[in-house]
Amino acid sequence: MITDITLRNFQSHKETTLNFDPGVNVIVGQSDSGKSAIFRALRWVVYNRPQGESFRSRWGGETEVEVGMMDPEWIVLRKKGKIEEYVLATPGRQDVVFHAFKTEVPKEIQEALNLADINIQNQLDSPFLLSSSPGEVATHFNKVARLDQIDSGTQKVNGWIRELTTTIGSEAIKDKPATGLIKQIADINLQLADFECLDTLEIEVEVIEQQSAQLKGLRVREHGLTLLKNEIISSQEELDEASEILKIEAPLVVILNAYKERKEKLLESSSLSLFIGLIKEDQEQIEEQNLYLEIAPLLNTILALYEARQKKKEEYQSLYKSALEAIQNKRLLEAAEETYEQLHLQFEANFPLTCPLCGNDTEKHNY
């Protein structure tokens, strides 16, 4: 039984959820309010119809219709977006997702919904079975009671019986000859009459078969003995080769021991060579350090002289800088004195004999 249905992006429904009560449910509303869309969405889940994109909302997004069931609790979800899929969800279990079902509804989804035309009736549909003919009503209830399957099964069985009857045939009656398997059996019986000596031949055949079986067993045994013989010969050859090897075992052991000792000596020699090399490296380092120790006083004297030279160089640079500044100042002073003499001569040459301020002779004044 359906407990609820949810529409998302289906025609005029952006997201709508309807909860149903047990029994008959009626959906009422104004025209163009989305009633037919609810039935269309339910049929889309149940029958995977209609196809295409016409029922998807104009604002976009995935179109989904979710149907909740009770007894048992199922949730059937139908999606349409970049991909199409059915989802069968059960509480406490992993969801089952179906893809690539084309126009057919997956069998698991059909069994979970368990809905037919009798469960869904549109607004303009005539009352259920009231306008149907007696034959249509009887056909419907025959389907409900599965009587149509019984009739179909009975027809198939009758057909099989007719086929078997034709195959078996009938016995000869008066001028009518036998037919089918009965005729074939009669013909075989006539042929068997020509083989009355078969009993004696059968005994002889059984004796021959027993002797043939014994001969076959002997041949198998002979083959096994031949294989065993070959294995014994091969083992003897291997033993002969092993005895030759055992003869040289003693000198071979001596050689192997000598080789082992030589290998150990080589390893010891390699270790000693490495150790000697390390000692030589240490000796060279010690000699280098002794050389450094011998020239250390001379290096200290050179470093002290270098530091004194650096100090003298800094003092010289400071004195040289001061001398340059003194020379520059002297040049500036000489230039200023020349400029003063020139300006004084110009003043004396251009100054009037009578002072414009006091009216006295300027020669009387010392400017």
Q: Please say if the pLDDT value at position 22 is more than 90.
A: no
Q: What DSSP state is assigned to residue 100? A: -
pLDDT at 9: 95
Least confident among 79-88, 142-151, 325-334: 142-151
Segment 222-241 mean pLDDT? 80
Q: How many angstroms separate the CA atoms of 24 and 135, rounded? A: 26
pLDDT at 126: 65
One-character DSSP codes across 49-66: -S-SSTTB-TT-S-EEEE
Within the chain, strands assigned E span 2-10, 13-19, 63-69, 75-80, 84-89, 96-98
Q: How many angstroms separate the CA atoms of 311 and 304, rounded? A: 11
Return the half-sphere exposure (C-beta side, CA atoms, 13 A cut-off) of residue 230: 6
User: Is 276 within 8 Å of 270 (Cβ atoms)?
Assistant: no
Long-range contacts of 251-254 (CB under 8 A, 24+ apart): none
Segment 79-102 mean pLDDT? 89
pLDDT at 272: 87
pLDDT at 120: 72
Beta bridge partners of 87: 77, 97
The residue among 328 and 161 whose pLDDT is bigger is 328
This prediction has a pTM of 0.39
